[in-house]
Amino acid sequence: MKIAVLSGKGGTGKTTVAASIATSLEQCQYIDCDVEEPNGAIFLKPDIKESLPVKVPVPRVEELKCSGCGFCAQACQFNTLAVVKGKVLVFQEICHHCGACLIACPQGAITEMDREIGVVEYNEDGTFMQGKLNVGEPISVPIIRELKRRVKNDMPVIFDCPPGASCTVVHSIEGCDYCLLVTEPTPFGVHDLKIAEQLVRKVGIPFGVVLNKALQANGSVQEFCGRNDVEILMEIPFSQAIAAYYSQGLLPAEYNPEWKDRFRKLYEKAERGVQG
Amino acid sequence: MEGQVPEIIRKGREGCTGLKQIAFVSGKGGTGKTTLVSSLANLVQNKMLADCDVDAPNLRIIINGKVRKQEDYFGAKEAFIDPTVCLKCGLCKETCRFGAISEDIEIIPFKCEGCGACTLVCPVEAICLKEVKTGRTCVTETPMGTFSHAMLDVGAEGSGKLVTEVRKNIDGFKNNEEWVLIDGASGIGCAVIASITGVDAVVAVSEPTRSGLHDLERVLDLAEHFQIPLFVCINKYDLNREITALMERFCKNNGCPVIGKIPFDPSIIRALQEFKTPVEAGSKEVTEEIKSIWRRLTVEVMSLGKS
Ligand code: SF4
Ligand code: SF4
Ligand code: SF4
Ligand code: SF4
């Protein structure tokens, strides 16, 4: 089964939940799709053995063949190309690697070259994988695609998704069987939970909620879940002790077998959620 | 060519001239960035506010006002096939690099990047690109100043463009203000790049955790990449004094001043649950620290202009 762990925004404990499930299961693959700020490794402490550059094709213009007609710049929908004084300028960072300019050029003056935008790293048996976007690069989806090409099919897979609800999250949860939405009992938490809920409903994946930093009164989250027929699968109490361990890079499931058990149960609930 | 300024960056610089802009960012959300910005919104006079966290805009939850402008934003394109014209030759499908055209020659909307490559190869012009709505922008008049924000449609592309739009709106409504306080997007990708381009200073709001330290390193790289002065505020610093000390050392070694340390205070969570900012809810220690943060920040930013 493939489970995606997400939240409307970061900082709600998404990585804690994803990494805790990963440590609690006998065997599984953990994939950190939060390529802008991958943090799973801090908790899971994998032994990274391989680091593969993620390359994307960007256009290169052969000046001798180019007539300066500007068709390429017209075809490009992302303002990546500009023709100035008969010369084509390429703003590589914002290229979406679609190849439209190649097709548009009547002179065959455009070829492509590889450009590195980040890396995909993994441990020896590939049970831990993470992607990292290079600083200054705006486009992260190609790295998520590269991670998804390496998904294992013979064991549970846990995806730690990027925060937010934009295209990067859609690419991360695509193909997953179940989504866990992590939230916290503040007005922000409820607001962001609504956004995440809309997203998973739109993509059409079954889901449930994990309430982190739960207090005595979690009114707004519970009310929202009740009204929208969403199940709260687990509550993690607000505790200074957990926060202090977290700050050290330690997971509750590591120092307390009871938590290990609870996260295993969370996984089983998700499994039943897929069947039901 | 390399070294040229990409468009998103040029656009960022066009917006907002003449007033000082400060972007508050954190690698991850949830470090108290919005809490700090909303508190400053209570304290600072003569400023405008912008929420650039368009994925999950939180500032507007606690800051209400009268709407002055509200608009749908069309920030992306999508391909549409006219089935009455299509010959089902499959050329478009072969051309599309994003797997956005199905076996039955139908567009899969969330995979389509709107690049238009398919339109170029179709022999009968059966495909066209149409603009699609990616979000909604809004400018409100609040007791704390003019406030520009936006909400990205769920799963939409182009959060960076929407952020640029939020910042353009600030420019359209300015009225001799001195400051723009920007609640920035999180991460290091297009949305955060659009949040910080052209600002006078970036304030990273961090928590003393292993992952917070890691995120701070990435934010520092980003600020250096775009050559913007970075200041650091450590939130809940007493949660782990050891890592706080590590963070302070890290900041010192990298020449970015730590302008404040906010203690952990459960009353902040309670304040938020009542839709109040910590300053409004009256936690004295926190309020004093936030005031002092602003004093330091103004001094630092003003001296930047002079040097
Ligand atoms: S590959 Fe696509 S995005 Fe890149 S320059 Fe060519 S047309 Fe533009
Ligand atoms: S379309 Fe080809 S020939 Fe025309 S300007 Fe672009 S690269 Fe040059
Ligand atoms: S290229 Fe044009 S005609 Fe051919 S399948 Fe695509 S839309 Fe239809
Ligand atoms: S516009 Fe681009 S991404 Fe969309 S279907 Fe056409 S080729 Fe594919």
Instruction: Give the rounded distance of the alpha carbon of A42 from its chain centre.
Output: 16
**B6 and B96 housed in the same domain:** no
Q: Within 6 Å (CB) of ligand 3, which residues are found?
A: B 81, 86-92, 105, 121-122, 124, 126-127
Q: How far apart are CA B274 and CA B282, in angstroms?
A: 13
Q: Based on the domain organization, do A78 and A178 belong to the same domain?
A: no
pLDDT, mean of residues B27-45: 82
Same structural domain, A163 and A208:
yes
Q: Are residues B80 and B55 in the same domain?
A: no
Same domain, yes or no: A161 and A78: no
Domain of A147? 2-47+124-275
Helices (H), chain A: 14-24, 40-44, 71-75, 100-104, 141-148, 167-173, 187-203, 219-227, 240-247, 252-255, 257-275
Does residue A250 share a domain with residue A170?
yes
Residue A236 contacts residue A210 (beta carbons within 8 Å): yes
Average pLDDT over residues A151-161: 94
Nearest in space to B75 (alpha carbons), one of B110, B44, B114: B114
- What is the predicted pLDDT for the residue at A216? 61
Of ligand 4's atoms, which has the minimum distance to the CA of residue B119?
6
Provide the residue range defining the domain that includes B51: 2-63+144-306
Check residue B101 and report its DSSP letter.
B
- Cα–Cα–Cα angle for A203, A152, B27, rounded to 5 degrees: 60
User: Does some domain include residue B280?
Assistant: yes
Task: Assign residue B167 a region (left: φ > 0; alpha: ψ between -120 and 50; beta: otherwise).
Answer: alpha
Decide which of A115, A149, A165 is a domain's last residue. A115
Output the pLDDT for position B3: 37
Chain A residue with CA closest to B3: the answer is A91
Are residues A171 and A266 located together in one domain of the fold? Answer: yes
Q: Is the CB of A68 under 6 A from ligand 2?
A: yes
Q: How many CB atoms lie under 10 A from the CB of residue B87?
A: 11
Asked if A191 and B114 come within 8 Å (Cβ–Cβ), the reply is no
Least confident of A153-167, B81-95, B247-261: A153-167
Model pLDDT for residues A75-101, shown as the tens digit of each residue? 999 989 999 888 999 989 889 999 999
B269 chain-A contacts, CB cut-off 8 A: 186, 213, 215, 238
- Helix B241-253 to helix B210-225 angle (10° resolution) is 20
Distance (angstroms) between ligand 2 centre and the Cα of A62 equals: 9
Bridge-based pairing of strands B76-81 and B127-132 is antiparallel
Residue A228 and residue A137 share a domain: yes
* B106 and B240 share one domain: no
* CATH number for A87: 3.30.70.20
Cβ pair B188:A37 closer than 8 A: yes
Please check whether residues B106 and B169 belong to one and the same domain.
no
Q: Which pLDDT value is given to residue A264?
A: 92
Do A35 and A81 share a structural domain? Answer: no
First to last CA, chain A: 14
Q: Give the domain CATH number at B157.
A: 3.40.50.300
Same structural domain for residues A42 and A105?
Answer: no
Among partner residues A9, A39, A90, which is closest to B211 by beta-carbon distance? A39
Interface contact B228, partner A, CB < 8 A: no
> How many domains does one find in chain A?
2
Q: Which of A64, A92, A115 is the last residue of a domain?
A: A115
Position A199 pLDDT exceeds 70? yes
Q: Which of A76, A91, A115 lies at the terminal end of a domain, its last residue?
A: A115
Q: Could you identify the residue written with the tokens 């610093």? A: B237
In Å, how far are A34, A36, A135, A223, B27 from A119, measured between CA atoms?
A: 13, 11, 12, 42, 18
B81 and B189 share one domain: no
How do residues A19-35 score in pLDDT, each as one tens digit? 999 999 989 999 999 99
pLDDT band at B123 (very low <50, low <70, confident <90, very high): very high
Residue B148 and residue B118 share a domain: no
- What one-letter code names the amino acid at B175? N
Residue A15's domain is classified under what CATH number?
A: 3.40.50.300
Residues B170 and B190 in one domain: yes
CA angle A164, A167, A170 (to 5 degrees): 85
Return the number of other C-beta atoms located less than 10 Å from residue A112's C-beta: 15
Q: Determine what percent of chain A is predicted with pLDDT higher than 90.
A: 55
Q: What is the pTM of this model?
A: 0.80
Residue A176: closest CA among A42, A31, A54, A44: A31
Confidence of residue B4 (pLDDT cuts 50, 70, 90): very low
ipTM of this predicted structure: 0.81
**Subunit contact B272:A187, Cβ cutoff 8 A:** yes
pLDDT at residue A254 is higher than 90? no
Both A100 and A204 in a single domain? no
DSSP code, position A32 = E
Amino acid type, B189: G
Return the minimum-mean-pLDDT range out of A126-130, B44-48, B149-153, B273-277: B273-277
CB B199 within 8 A of CB B178: no
A165/A258 same-domain check: yes
Whether A110 and A129 map to the same domain: the answer is no
Could you tell me the two tokens for A128?
Answer: 């831990």
Taking Cα atoms as reference points, which of B257, B12, B50, B269 lies closest to residue B149? B50
**pLDDT greater than 80 at residue A56:** yes
Whether residue A166 and residue B156 make contact (CB cut-off 8 A), yes or no, is yes
Q: Answer whether residue B138 is part of any domain.
A: no
CATH number, position B125:
3.30.70.20
Shared domain for A151 and A253, answered yes or no, is: yes
**Both B168 and B287 in a single domain?**
yes
Angstroms from B87 CA to nearest CA on chain A: 20
Number of domains in chain B: 2
User: Do A170 and B155 make contact, defined as CB atoms within 8 angstroms?
Assistant: yes
What is the structure's pLDDT at A129? 96
